[in-house]
Amino acid sequence: MDNILTIRDLKVAFQVKGKSAYALDGIDIDIPKGKIVGIVGESGCGKSMTAMSIMGLIKKPGKIVGGSIDFCGKDLTKTGVKDYAKIRGKEISMIFQEPMTSLNPVVKVGKQVMESIILHKNLSKDEAKKRVIDIFNEVGIPEAEKRFNSYPHELSGGLRQRVMIGMAMICKPKLLIADEPTTALDVTIEAQILKLMKKLCEDNGTSIIMITHNMGVVAEICDYVYVMYAGRVVESADTKTIFTETSHPYTSGLLKSIPTIGKKQSRLYTIKGNVPNILNLPKGCRFVDRCDCAENICYSDRPENEFISQNHMVSCFLKKDIR
């Protein structure tokens, strides 16, 4: 299948007290054209860092120290600032978690959305305004013409997130990165936004990277899933396989710790302990201290990424179906 984005052995390190802390330690990710790919994991596992690397937004003291990000034949890790400016917002765009902090509070939302299309497409103001109103209608903002002149604080959380999506989609990018786009929203609004994103993906052939910690969201809209833990991908597969043939103890722990509606549970499964500090990682497998089925080898050696079926990758010594 055609991949729009291919990440190989990507490493991002931060210099902390003279030591290198690897926030991403050799990750491989493929994003097929027109598909929605989920990246899941707990805080600090490197989900957002992956997004920032693709966008070229890693800030000092962080740095990409190895690997490649291939986007339509271009290696983004070697792309300069000027060339990046032509890619960001036009070919790759991003939606953030908290729409209030990512919109400028003193600029009307219409004007903010217009900015990127004027910059990238050389349109006149009138044409640009027309396009903005079109995209507002497309993302389901009622009374689009009136809303063009609203300030962010006058809109609800759901509407603000729709503005963000409109802003990200206005140049019809090839890739959209959504970093927890529905975490700050109510379930009812979340359902509406997810439906909208799926529709935009189907209508425009845009690929979406969906960063989330909600397995329900993954099941609902993603085609492929990457599960990350402490800077590595521990398991990846198509969505159905991840849920039916879960093979990594971490993935299965995550799934088991979510309360299920319609099931009477007196206690919830818990993954013991906390996410390890990336400055002080266990020697062997990074999950070893929290794993229920760790064996001697897990403490000493680092598991390799292994494909157990065509598109099901697991990084674990115990590759049997552990569910």
Partner 1 sequence: MRNIVLRLKNIVKEFPTSKKNKKVHAISDVSLVIYENETLALVGESGCGKSTLGKCAIGLIMPDSGESIFLDENIYTKKGNDLKNTKKNLQIIFQDPYASLNPRMTVGEIISEPIITHNKGMKKEEIKSKVLELMQDVGIRKEYYNRYPHQFSGGQRQRIGIARAIALNPKLIVCDEPVSALDVSIQSQVLNLLKDLQEKKKASYLFISHDLSVVNFIADRVCVMFLGKICEIGNTDDIFENPLHPYTKLLLDAIPSIENAGRQKEMLKGEIPSPIDVPSGCRFHTRCPHCMDICKTDEPVLNEKDGRSVACHRVK
Q: Which residues bind partner 1 (CB under 8 A)?
A: 42-43, 142, 156-159, 186-192, 194-195, 213-217, 219-220, 239, 243, 253-255, 257-262, 265-271, 274
- The phi, psi pair for 308, rounded to 5°, reads -95, -15
How far apart are CB 212 and partner 1 at their closest, in Å? 9
Sign of the alpha-carbon dihedral angle for 84, 99, 166, 173: positive
Q: Tell me the three state secondary structure of residue 289.
A: helix
* CB of 177 or CB of 217, closer to partner 1: 217
How far apart are CB 239 and partner 1 at their closest, in Å? 8
* CB of 155 or CB of 209, closer to partner 1: 155
* CB of 82 or CB of 263, closer to partner 1: 263
CA 59 – CA 56 distance, rounded (Å): 9
* CB of 69 or CB of 193, closer to partner 1: 193
How far apart are CB 243 and partner 1 at their closest, in Å? 6
Specify whether the CB–CB gap between 236 and 308 falls below 8 A.
no
CA 89 – CA 134 distance, rounded (Å): 18
CA 172 – CA 59 distance, rounded (Å): 27
* CB of 3 or CB of 214, closer to partner 1: 214
How far apart are CB 195 and partner 1 at their closest, in Å? 7
Residues 6+ apart with CB under 8 A from 25: 11, 231, 232
Specify whether the CB–CB gap between 224 and 38 falls below 8 A.
yes
**Neighbour tally for 179: CB within 10 Å:** 22
How far apart are CB 158 and partner 1 at their closest, in Å? 6
* CB of 69 or CB of 222, closer to partner 1: 222
How far apart are CB 269 and partner 1 at their closest, in Å? 6
